[in-house]
Amino acid sequence: MKRLLIVEDEDVILKALKRLLERNHFEVHCAGSVQEALAYKLHSFDLILADLRLPGELGTALIGPADPIPVVIMTSHASVRSAVDAMRHGAIDYIAKPFDHDELLIVIQRSLHQNLMHAQNRALKLDVHRQHPLEHYVYGTGLSSILERITHESQRQRFMYLHGERGTERESVAKAIHSLGADSEGPLLVLDACENHHEMATLLFGSNASSDLKNVPSAKLNFDLPNGGYLQAAQNGTLVIRNPELLTLEAQQLLYKAVAVGIPVSLGNMSSGTKQVQLICISENKLQSSVDADRLIPEFSDLFAGCEFEIPPLRKRPEDINILVKRHLLRLEQRYGWNTFKVNEDAMAALKANAWLGNVAELESVLNHAVFTCRTQTLTLNDLGLSNDISEGTNEGRDLNLDEYFRYFVIRNQAKLSETELASRLGISRKALWERRQKMKLLRDRIDENSG
């Protein structure tokens, strides 16, 4: 039987509610004020039903002490503002007086179910963290000190910008920031930005955004944002946006207004003035370079002032190779039930000497290939595919950018490696290899032409 606490100062209403809820198989306890309610052990209840206007303090004063027990607020002021205020304080739901008995029972059952789902999600999250920590690639590596600085800043600033090469675990750092922050129990969402304005408007602001934005001049994009979308789903949590420079300038302006200025955003039948969302953007480009290239508007980039951090490439932190190799091999062992894999001395030396222009993603790909093809539990230089000529070739390419390195590596090794092997060494899929060949006009039948 569910235990409910009713906090209501009008005796007639209190008795009527008690009779109604007891007839519907609830164990009901009563209080006439916040102080009386606090005399109970609030965490012993499954739900608290509190009037907003109570003698002494508002009913919303119970939300903090009761957390995580859900609190439903009753209000005789059936206005949007009073409902929004209750929800802002953390009420799980509200109901306006006078209310229908069936309506009240529906609200209570919905709130109990929602709180159960929250509890299950918290338990699942803890279980996932235990088995696969979000910060798996961060702690114990050279990124630990960076994470410590970022976490310190995140206590004061809810907008952060992480830049670095692909494969440097920028996203793992972003997830670690979330897991260590004050809103770690809140949702964590990751969104890939794209250049399609209507698509991004729909993803960010809800299903109605795309139609609302059609044929609207950018100068007039100043309206209440529609219901739904990633921004609403990330309420009281973290939204990570990959490659924000791909957002149109209009989408950046809308996002800036939503998270910084506080344009009202509809929430069902209510509206919320400020989105309580931690925003982390990750990109290959430095913030200022995207501004200089007119890819980011100044007001949006200003959100991240003082909170821009570079995630260094793996070749600048070779001391991390040993721990990353051990962790990845352990994860493969746990996933497939294999015995412990080791890397011999020569192979480890080659791993540390390699340039790793694909960073951690490339390192993982090389290890995956070695584990699936080796015949012993000790990985050798040949198992890793880091023979002397390829190692030298990789080191020769240290000063090349990613496109130049791709062209260099393919031209140098195409004659002796299959497409699958090339893709594996580069840390990408065969489809990605083919698409990049097409884009760079680097086809196999043109290898002599390109290398000459």
Whether residue 203 sits in one domain with residue 344: no
Cβ–Cβ < 8 Å for 242, 282: yes
User: Once rounded to an integer, what is the mean pLDDT over residues 152-165?
Assistant: 82
Whether residue 120 sits in one domain with residue 136: no
CATH number at residue 15: 3.40.50.2300
What pLDDT score does 229 carry? 76
3-state secondary structure of 284: coil
Q: Peptide bond before 264: cis, by omega within 30 degrees of 0?
A: no
Whether residue 337 sits in one domain with residue 218: no
Q: Which domain holds residue 210?
A: 132-312
- Per-position b or e across 17-40, b if 16+ CB within 10 A of its CB: bbeebeeeebebbbbbbbebbbeb
In 3D space, the residue among 196, 285, 294, 199 whose CA is nearest the CA of residue 242 turns out to be 285
| Domain finish residue from 263, 286, 312 | 312
CATH number at residue 430: 1.10.8.60
Rg (CA), the chain: 28
pLDDT of residue 85 exceeding 90, the answer is no
Residue 258: pLDDT band (50, 70, 90) is confident
pLDDT of residue 436 exceeding 80, the answer is yes
Read off the amino acid at residue 377.
Answer: Q
| Domain finish residue from 73, 98, 125 | 125
Cβ–Cβ < 8 Å for 287, 296: yes
- What is the count of structural domains for the chain? 3
Cβ–Cβ < 8 Å for 329, 369: no
Whether residue 358 sits in one domain with residue 280: no
User: Once rounded to an integer, what is the mean pLDDT over residues 339-357?
Assistant: 84
Q: List Cα–Cα distances, 23 to 20, 28, 216, 331, in angstroms.
A: 5, 10, 55, 54
Cβ–Cβ < 8 Å for 274, 94: no
pLDDT of residue 146 exceeding 50, the answer is yes
- Helical spans, DSSP H, in 71-169: 80-88, 101-131, 143-154
Whether residue 294 sits in one domain with residue 152: yes
The predicted-structure confidence for 274-293, as pLDDT tens digits, reads as follows 347 889 999 999 999 999 99
Whether residue 298 sits in one domain with residue 345: no
| Domain finish residue from 287, 312, 337 | 312
Q: Dihedrals φ, ψ of 266, to 5°? A: -70, 140
Whether residue 137 sits in one domain with residue 121: no
Residue 155: pLDDT band (50, 70, 90) is low
Query: What pTM value is reported for the model?
Result: 0.54
Whether residue 308 sits in one domain with residue 179: yes
What pLDDT score does 318 carry? 84
CATH number at residue 271: 3.40.50.300
The predicted-structure confidence for 223-257, as pLDDT tens digits, reads as follows 333 345 788 778 778 899 999 999 999 889 888 88
Whether residue 447 sits in one domain with residue 328: yes
Whether residue 298 sits in one domain with residue 215: yes
Whether residue 248 sits in one domain with residue 179: yes
Whether residue 268 sits in one domain with residue 208: yes
The predicted-structure confidence for 29-73, as pLDDT tens digits, reads as follows 999 999 999 999 898 899 999 999 899 999 999 998 888 889 999
